Structure 1
Amino acid sequence: MIPNSRYDGKPLLRLLELYVLNSINELSQVDRQTLERMEPRLHAIYGGGGTWHEAIAAALSMSLDVPKVIQDMWISNQETAKKKGVILSPQMFAEMFVDQNFTV
């Protein structure tokens, strides 16, 4: 996980960014393994069953189509960035998506 003052006092914030990265197939193997080890604790805290991302989805009562919505927005935002000559990193997109769509 990335140490950053952005996440001070907001543990769900980084988890949501990782959820977004997972949805766009940009989650690092290290983060994936860490989250898989954390699954029992995440379920105990946030509920849900199965995978770590199901626990995060349960925490915010997300609908099943949220990963597809995130994927579509990622593609659209990449196209917009490319037209403007800007590089949109997966992490930058994840931060923007979380900031614009979740209150944590």
Structure 2
Amino acid sequence: MSRYEGRPLLRLVDCFVLDAIDQLDDAQRATLEALEPRLAKTFDASGTWQEIVGGQMGFAHDLPDKIRQFWRGYIDQAQTQALRADPQAFVVAFVAQNFPDIAPPRH
């Protein structure tokens, strides 16, 4: 079962977190920017895809800064343990811990 199956907002939140830590690839970014008009219509909102997702989730405006702080801590911890910092693993853990209503654990 896909992480995103039945969870349409989860992919957008994951991309929001990846974007905040500067790990969203150019192709994903272009796709999301192209989807902005559709997202605006779907959610009856305006702005960039980040603003639309943030508004739907009720995110504070400083959330990207806080995500970056956690990311830096994650990188430091990985380096201390001689491990590679994995952006996707960070996103999965961050979203599950902070937004369990959209990413409850799968059994």
Task: Please report the TM-score for the alignment, with normalisation by the length of structure 1.
Answer: 0.90
Deviations 1:36-69 (A, max 9, x none): 1111121222344210010100011111000000
1:70 to 2:67 alignment: yes
Aligned residues: 101
2:76 equivalent among 37, 58, 79: 79
Does the C-alpha gap of structure 1 residues 58 and 71 become closer, same or farther in structure 2, counting only changes over 3 Å? same
Aligned Cα RMSD in Å?
1.3
In structure 2, list runs of 5 or more residues that go unmatched. 103-107
Identity %: 38
Task: Give the aligned partner of residue 17 of structure 1.
Answer: 14
Task: Give the aligned partner of residue 48 of structure 2.
Answer: 51
In structure 1, list runs of 5 or more residues that go unmatched. none
Q: Residues 48 and 55 of structure 1 are in contact (CA less than 8 Å); yes or no, is this contact kept in structure 2?
A: yes
SS at match of 1:7: coil
Does the C-alpha gap of structure 1 residues 9 and 28 become closer, same or farther in structure 2, counting only changes over 3 Å? same
Deviation at 1:82, TM superposition (A): 1.1
